A and B are shown apart, each in its own frame.
Chain A
Amino acid sequence: MMMKRNQIHRHAREKMIRCVFFLMAISSIVALFFIMVFLFKEGAPLFKTVSIREFVFGVEWYPTSEPPDFGIFPLIVASVFATLFSALFSVPLGVMTAIYLSQIAAKKTAGIVKPVVELMAALPSVVIGFFGMAAVAPFLQNVFGIPTGLNLFNASLMLAFMSIPTICSISEDALRGVSPALTEASMALGATRFETILRVVLPASISGISTAVILGLSRAMGETMVVLMVAGGAAMVPESIFDPVRPMPAGIAAEMAEAPVGGIHYHALFATGIVLFLLTLAFNIFADYISARYRQSGEASL
């Protein structure tokens, strides 16, 4: 009898604990859901006056003139290119640093380099933006002889700077997860260290590395302060990498303060937020797909 009661008690407790954890897990989903609902509710009224086609492919962004134009194509192009160019810097740097830290570096060196890389993540974006504005922009002007240092290239550099820590630390985890049995087997077969890294370790961790890259890039795409400060803010489709641009987050942040609540400009900024959201969502779905597709199951699929 005693035993049975105890069992019931344990059962109830078990159930309760499960319930608490479930609530914790669901709460972030609920929050995300409400943010989404809000975003779409505030953005959708724009499409009563402006067609989706005009909005996404229009090249004129004059939200406050009479009559206004709401074409965010230059902003989309700016966001996409700033992210892609930043990947050109951040992916090789981040992944190679991760390889160095996990495969090559001595414990002592790694012990110094790793915290420094992670410290980069702790730099506030406004500091990086200020650095880009006050130091990098004049430098670019002098070195390349270009009229303005506040441009796509500068923004990409600063964004790369921001995504390297993410890419590096997640890739490093993936690389460390590769079973030593694999590397040892490769070495035993006479492969050099470099061959082992390139042919065995990298393919074995490619799923984790691609997740790292995509998370880093979606961070770059959503970053606001840096692009607001260094991208130059010109709402035009860039013709060269040294043209000033206006990525979506910068556009939203700069104009939100004075857009009359409930006006068409206000809705247009939310609609821009929807586009940004869908883009990063696409990125993340792609990341999921890649990591599922190339998931390493044991040693068999190498």
Chain B
Amino acid sequence: MKKIKTALFSIFSILAVCFFGLSPAVSGSLSIKGSTTVLPIVQKVVEAYMAKHPDVKISLSGGGSGNGIKAIIDQSANIATSSRFIKKKEMAAAFEKGSFPVPFAVAYDSIIPVVHPDNPLTDLSLDQLRRIYNGSIRNFKELGGSDLKIVVNSRDTSSGTWEVWNEKVMKKERTSPRVQTLASNGAIVQAVSKNRHAIGYIGIGYLNPRVKPLKVNGVNGDETTTLNGTFPISRPLFMFTNGWPEGEALNFINFMLNPEKGQKYVKESGYVKLY
């Protein structure tokens, strides 16, 4: 009899915990689509978010910034991620279809030029960088460095890092065909750290003591100079919602922007957080 009582009691208490102990979460679903540059951040944030809200189903896909914004325009996704601001044309298309994209900056992407640690160079101007990459400067001597041929390392056109470089440094001018293209930030670090001839560029999160970061136009690339806008090779990363976010989308954006929550993962993914 006593046994049955305790058993009943425990069952009731478990049920009670089930009913009252857990917060009355609104179950919902979210679909997030867009930039592969923002993807590593969002992946981590989504994981953390789902751990806190197990009843929310989030579908996450890449496909590029353009595809993300398109999904907001035709309202097939709740949140679009984008490594650039929305274009005028896209804005017009959105209005036509009755949607109203609202931007949120969620992180900054900063690209740092790097050389071998033995290289005496410390500072290059944007123009010098551009001329190195378009092939008109071919020796570090021309920049006041030692007499070494420059081996220029760049990234594939499919990378977001390349996009920033192409826009901010090259101003969309073509790089020389002699430029080496490597497949990842890690490969650039690998190639530059072992080669005194090399120059390359990497996302700020990949900086490590094996390579030497260069100042650009006299500005040291770090979180402060990125956020106050003085470091020239950086860009904000965005999320877009259709209209001011509501319900689950609002919860998620709040989570993303919270310095204790979502922003923590921005740094982990190699980007600069907002605060």
Q: Which residues of A contact B (CB under 8 A)?
A: 59-66, 74, 133-134, 137-138, 141, 147-150, 228-229, 232-236, 244, 246, 254-260
Contact = CB atoms under 8 A, between A and B. Distances in A.
A257 B36 contact: yes
A174 B140 CA distance: 55
Contacts of A244: 178, 180
Closest 9 CB pairs of A and B: A258-B158, A233-B181, A236-B177, A147-B197, A254-B156, A148-B151, A232-B180, A138-B194, A64-B157
A234 B177 contact: yes
Contact of B195 (A63, A66, A134, A148): A148
Interface of B: 36, 64, 66, 148-151, 156-159, 172, 174, 177-183, 187, 190-191, 194-195, 197-198
A150 B174 CA distance: 22
B180 A259 contact: no
B174 A62 contact: yes
Contacts of A234: 177-181
A148 B178 CA distance: 12
B156 A137 contact: no
A36 B178 CA distance: 33
A255 B183 CA distance: 10
A138 B195 contact: yes
A228 B155 CA distance: 12
A134 B183 contact: no
Given A133-B190, A137-B191, A148-B151, A65 B182 contact: no
Contacts of A134: 190, 194
Secondary structure dominating the interface of A: loop
A233 B156 contact: yes
Contact of B180 (A65, A150, A255, A257): A150
B183 A254 contact: yes
A235 B190 contact: no
A232 B200 CA distance: 13
A148 B172 contact: no
Given A65-B172, A134-B190, A244-B180, A255 B195 contact: no
B36 A141 contact: no
Contact of A235 (B177, B187, B197): B177
B157 A63 contact: yes
A133 B195 CA distance: 12
Nearest to B175: A62
Given A137-B191, A147-B149, A260-B66, A233 B157 contact: no
Contacts of B190: 133-134
B194 A137 contact: yes
Contact of B183 (A65, A148, A229): A229
A235 B135 CA distance: 13
A228 B183 contact: yes
A240 to B, nearest CB: 12
A61 B177 contact: yes
Nearest to B173: A65
Contact of B158 (A59, A138, A255): A255
A229 B178 contact: no
Contact of A148 (B159, B187, B197): B197
A149 B36 contact: no
B158 to A, nearest CB: 3
Nearest to A137: B194
A235 B154 CA distance: 12
23 contacts: A61-B177, A133-B191, A138-B194, A141-B194, A141-B195, A147-B148, A147-B149, A147-B197, A148-B151, A148-B191, A148-B195, A149-B194, A150-B180, A150-B182, A228-B183, A233-B180, A233-B182, A234-B180, A235-B177, A244-B180, A254-B181, A255-B156, A257-B36
Contacts of A236: 177-178
Contacts of B157: 63-64, 255, 258
Nearest to B148: A147
